[in-house]
Amino acid sequence: MTAGPEPRRRRRMDAVGVALLAFGALNILTGLAMLFAPGAFFESVGPYGTRNDHYIGDLSTWSLALGAALVVAARRKSWRVPVLAVAVLQGGLHALNHLVDVGEARPFWLGPFNLVALTVVAALLGLLLVVSVRRLRGTGRR
């Protein structure tokens, strides 16, 4: 009697993969909050200017798409560099946008808090990008 095909071994996810899953989940949860509770999102996270549920819903699609790409990149290493490059660019531009209107949030403290949080997230994503590029170069692949 012959044995069937050998079962696929589960590979352990590396630290970059775990971080990508975490950032992916954060983006997906943020997108879902924006989509299904735009008023609560506006009041607790993004109280800048006049509330517009349509634009909040539009922005939720970006968070959901980026979150999904980050989750896929957690397992598919070939996705990591391009997805992280887009995430770093988006995160840096998002932080820059918050720098421009840092004083417009109500309550006031939320403006600087959001700016620092977004800058830290962009920096961490940048670090993951650097690590991923170095690993890719170490394999000899481009």
Burial (0-12, 13-18, 19+ Cβ within 10 Å), 83: buried
Q: 32: which 2 tokens? A: 């879902």
In this prediction, residue 28 carries a pLDDT of 98
- Give 59-99 pLDDT, tens digit per residue: 999 999 999 999 999 999 999 999 999 999 999 999 999 99
Q: Which of 3-7, 36-40, 79-83, 98-102 has the lowest mean pLDDT?
A: 3-7
Average pLDDT, the chain: 92
The answer to whether residues 122 and 81 touch, using CB atoms and an 8 Å cutoff, is no
Average pLDDT estimate for 98-112: 93
Q: Does 50 score more than 70 pLDDT?
A: yes
The structural domains of the chain, with segments of one domain joined by +, span: 15-138
In this prediction, residue 138 carries a pLDDT of 86
Crossing angle, helix 15-36 and helix 53-75, to 10 degrees?
160
Q: What is the pTM of this model?
A: 0.86
